């Protein structure tokens, strides 16, 4: 019998036939697909004909169609509906896949063909998109070390292996320190904590086998504890333990690991011919150079610090009024900020919730996409991997555009957080394929399901990523949809969040679950205002981390990263009552892997753009200005990675983004 994953999918729109796939199908399907892909790669690399764009680059684009099928189905269910067998398969698959892809990128014969094409690129009569795909493919191989030979090649392999193992140790040490520490609370110590924190501390106590409630270092417990506990001594103890993660001495200490990682990254960048690791890392990003990143972060830093300093004075006065003398400490900030929030913007979450029904918020996201881009959504009845999943056919002027799947509810088998992925990416080569896009969230189930405001924002955010996939209109899959620079990929998603804040959208779709009445104006105002609260603190703690990350990688690797971190903070004039969002010994974004190294700035880079891009709508004719919507689709949402991110933004906006809209949006300068 043929494996249902690898057979032709005769379902509507060729959605994976989930109802016919068994977990026992994955492993044999993966083995077959890897073998097939290897055979294709060997055939391309060993082709006796001289390299052409078609027999090399296009052949690579077309290869691996079986592998795409297996991986898209497997990773969808493994992330959103796992079980012990799927978890075991995942542990089994990841080293196999790592070896497979590293084998391709170190295939010298294949690289020779790409290098040959690259040298003759101007004589190949390529379209703009083809030139771009050749450049990206060649560059990907070079950056992976394919052009190195002899000792340099051997050393590169050693460095990669060592970095992978150091990254794993860094993560495991951090988890060990987080698991190890907890602080028992007496019943009296619970005073002042809201019910949800009390419940969480009790559940944590049970999990730790303690007699009663405990505070742990999990962000979902420690942060609300610091926010709500009136016990300054306990806050201090908990805060110190939280910020000491990875720096407790002994076997789980991450400080030397961080230094070794930084040294190896620098060596790796130099082997590849870059001045330092930041130059290597930023080459593929919109920002391009460390100076541009630093310049942007500093433009945000100054007003953020000014706001934080002013806030610190207010919080210090509140603390002194409480009878506590001396300076405001890092374990005091969240507590007094929460008191201030209550006094200034009391927003009753419980009263707000009935106005944010999941189904109405989905309708709102669809309605905005209809007004902006003419998309229509019709429910689609197809078997999916879980009964909670819903599907829609997306059309425009009667033409099929995409299938959109929403898997919104939390369950034990689902990984936390929210995400968007393409189960099939848009492409026109080797055949035309329409995208199948999924949003996976973790909202609480209910009848009707109700969202918090943050949840509603997440829904719009992920739907923004989905639009980037669904409206993609390129030829080659490798540059389709969200295959863009890391510091550009959050632009469509963060931008789409702005439509939730458009008063007419909330007025139409935020209706009360029981009465159907629209949200009252004063509640609407409070919701929008609360979003700006304590932005001095939040911006300062984030930007400080981003600048430290940048300094670590721009120039010679520091022998003592902790000393370098201290110097950077001192140079910035870091407010004493604010810590870094992530300090070096537990900065997993930067040290657990390469993903956000010299890249932690990307969140803010994207935010600068989304604020500036939405301002373009407001300046033009409002949130639904048709010309701006058309420009957004033509230059950003449909173009994938077919051009440089900076060119795409310029084409949309006519100029590069400035920080002003972000500073206004965060309330750091007056509107």
Toward Zn ion, which CB reaches closer, 86 or 468? 468
Tokens of 524: 């609407």
Pairwise CA distance, residues 398 & 524, whole Å: 36
Toward Zn ion, which CB reaches closer, 442 or 493? 493
Toward Zn ion, which CB reaches closer, 216 or 493? 493
Kindly report the number of other CB atoms within 10 A of residue 607's CB atom. 23
Q: Which of residues 152-191 bind Zn ion (CB under 5 A)?
A: none
Tokens of 223: 């942060």
> Is the N-terminal amide bond of 69 cis, ω within 30° of 0?
no
Q: Spot the catalytic one: 61, 266, 462, 477.
A: 462
Q: Are 262 and 552 in contact (CB under 8 A)?
A: yes
Q: What character string, x for contact with Zn ion (CB under 5 A) and - otherwise, covers 278-317?
A: ----------------------------------------
Closest to 480 measured CA to CA, from 143, 138, 141, 136: 136
Q: Which of residues 492-521 bind Zn ion (CB under 5 A)?
A: 493
Tokens of 224: 């609300």
Toward Zn ion, which CB reaches closer, 493 or 597? 493
Q: How far is the CB of 419 from Zn ion (least distance, A)?
A: 8
Contacts of 632 (CB under 8 A, 6+ apart): 372, 495, 613, 652
Q: What character string, x for contact with Zn ion (CB under 5 A) and - otherwise, covers 457-496?
A: ------------------------------------x---
Closest to 450 measured CA to CA, from 346, 361, 347: 361
What is the helix (H) or strand (E) element at residue 170, kind and residue range? helix 150-180
Q: What character string, x for contact with Zn ion (CB under 5 A) and - otherwise, covers 15-54?
A: ----------------------------------------
Q: How far is the CB of 468 from Zn ion (least distance, A)?
A: 10
By CB under 5 A, residue 606 contacts Zn ion = no
Bridge partner residues of 422 (DSSP): 437
Pairwise CA distance, residues 380 & 394, whole Å: 10
Cα–Cα distances (Å) from 380 to 12, 306, 391, 405, 423, in that order, read 9, 52, 5, 9, 16
Kindly report the number of other CB atoms within 10 A of residue 316's CB atom. 17
The region, left, alpha or beta by phi > 0 then psi within -120 to 50, assigned to residue 374 is: left
Q: How far is the CB of 338 from Zn ion (least distance, A)?
A: 27
Toward Zn ion, which CB reaches closer, 229 or 493? 493
Helix ranges restricted to H, 184-254: 195-208, 219-228, 232-243
Toward Zn ion, which CB reaches closer, 417 or 571? 417
Tokens of 519: 């949200």
Toward Zn ion, which CB reaches closer, 483 or 564? 483
Toward Zn ion, which CB reaches closer, 462 or 549? 462
Cα–Cα distances (Å) from 450 to 220, 361, 499, 511, in that order, read 21, 9, 19, 11
Q: How far is the CB of 490 from Zn ion (least distance, A)?
A: 5
> How many chain residues touch Zn ion (CB under 5 A)?
1
Q: How far is the CB of 464 from Zn ion (least distance, A)?
A: 8
Q: Is 462 tagged catalytic?
A: yes
Cα–Cα distances (Å) from 478 to 130, 202, 337, in that order, read 11, 48, 46
Q: How far is the CB of 548 from Zn ion (least distance, A)?
A: 23
Q: How far is the CB of 629 from Zn ion (least distance, A)?
A: 21
Q: Point out the residue whose Cβ comes nearest to Zn ion.
A: 493
Q: How far is the CB of 467 from Zn ion (least distance, A)?
A: 12
Which residue numbers are catalytic?
A: 462
Binding interface with Zn ion (CB under 5 A):
493
């Amino acid at each position: 019998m043929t494996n249902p994953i690898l057979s032709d999918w005769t379902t509507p729109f060729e959605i994976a036939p989930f109802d016919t796939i068994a977990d026992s199908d994955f492993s044999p399907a993966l083995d077959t697909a890897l073998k097939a892909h290897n055979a294709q790669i060997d055939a391309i690399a060993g082709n006796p004909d001289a390299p052409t764009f078609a027999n090399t680059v296009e052949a690579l684009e077309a290869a691996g169609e079986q592998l795409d099928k297996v991986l898209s189905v497997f990773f969808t269910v493994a992330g959103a509906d796992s079980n012990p067998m799927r978890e075991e398969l995942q542990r089994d698959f990841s080293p196999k896949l790592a070896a497979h892809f590293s084998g391709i990128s170190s295939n010298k014969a294949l690289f020779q063909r790409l290098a040959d094409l690259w040298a003759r690129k101007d004589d190949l009569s390529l379209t703009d998109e083809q030139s771009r795909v050749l450049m990206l493919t060649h560059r990907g191989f070079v950056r992976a070390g394919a052009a190195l030979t002899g000792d340099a090649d051997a050393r590169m392999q050693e460095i990669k292996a060592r970095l992978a193992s150091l990254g794993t140790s860094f993560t495991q040490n951090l988890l060990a320190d987080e698991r190890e520490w907890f602080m028992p609370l007496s019943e009296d110590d619970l005073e002042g904590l809201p019910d949800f924190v009390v419940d969480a501390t009790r559940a944590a106590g049970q999990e730790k086998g303690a007699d009663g409630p405990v505070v742990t270092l999990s962000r979902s417990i420690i942060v609300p504890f610091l926010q709500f506990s009136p016990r300054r001594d306990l806050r201090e103890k908990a805060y110190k333990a939280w910020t000491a993660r990875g720096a407790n001495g002994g076997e789980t200490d991450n400080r030397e690991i961080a230094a070794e990682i930084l040294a190896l990254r620098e060596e790796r960048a130099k082997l590849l011919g870059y001045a330092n690791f930041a130059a290597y890392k930023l080459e593929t990003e919109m920002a391009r150079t460390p100076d541009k990143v630093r310049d942007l972060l500093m433009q945000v830093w100054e007003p953020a610090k000014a706001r934080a300093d002013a806030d610190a004075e207010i919080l210090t006065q509140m603390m002194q009024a409480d009878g506590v003398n001396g300076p405001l400490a890092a374990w005091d900030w969240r507590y007094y900020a929460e008191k201030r929030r209550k006094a200034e913007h009391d927003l009753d979450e419980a009263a707000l919730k009935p106005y944010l029904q999941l189904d109405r918020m989905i309708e709102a996201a669809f309605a905005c996409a209809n007004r902006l881009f003419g998309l229509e959504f019709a429910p689609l009845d197809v078997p999916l991997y879980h009964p909670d999943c819903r599907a829609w056919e997306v059309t425009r002027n009667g033409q099929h555009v995409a299938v959109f799947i929403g898997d919104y509810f939390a369950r034990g088998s689902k990984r936390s957080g929210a995400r968007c992925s393409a189960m099939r990416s848009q492409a026109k080569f080797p055949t035309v394929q329409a995208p199948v896009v999924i949003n996976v969230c973790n909202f609480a189930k209910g009848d009707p399901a109700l969202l918090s405001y943050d949840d509603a924002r997440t829904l719009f955010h992920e739907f923004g990523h989905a639009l980037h996939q669904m409206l993609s209109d390129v030829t080659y899959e490798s540059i389709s949809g969200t295959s863009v620079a890391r510091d550009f990929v959050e632009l469509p998603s963060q931008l789409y969040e702005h439509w939730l804040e458009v008063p007419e959208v909330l007025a139409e779709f935020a209706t009360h679950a029981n009465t159907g009445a629209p949200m009252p104006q004063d509640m609407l105002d409070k919701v929008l205002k609360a979003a700006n609260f304590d932005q001095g603190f939040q911006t300062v703690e984030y930007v400080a981390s981003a600048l430290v990350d940048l300094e670590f990688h721009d120039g010679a690797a520091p022998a003592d990263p902790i000393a370098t971190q201290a110097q950077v903070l001192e140079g910035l004039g870091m407010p004493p009552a604010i810590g870094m969002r992530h300090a070096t010994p537990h900065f997993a974004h930067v040290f657990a892997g390469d993903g956000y190294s010299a890249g932690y700035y990307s969140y803010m880079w994207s935010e600068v753009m989304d604020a500036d891009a939405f301002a373009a709508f407001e300046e033009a004719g409002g949130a639904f200005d048709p010309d701006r919507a058309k420009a957004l689709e033509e230059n950003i949402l449909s173009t994938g990675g077919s051009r440089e991110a900076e060119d795409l933004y310029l084409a949309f906006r006519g100029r590069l983004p400035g920080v002003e809209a972000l500073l206004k949006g965060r309330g750091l300068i007056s509107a």
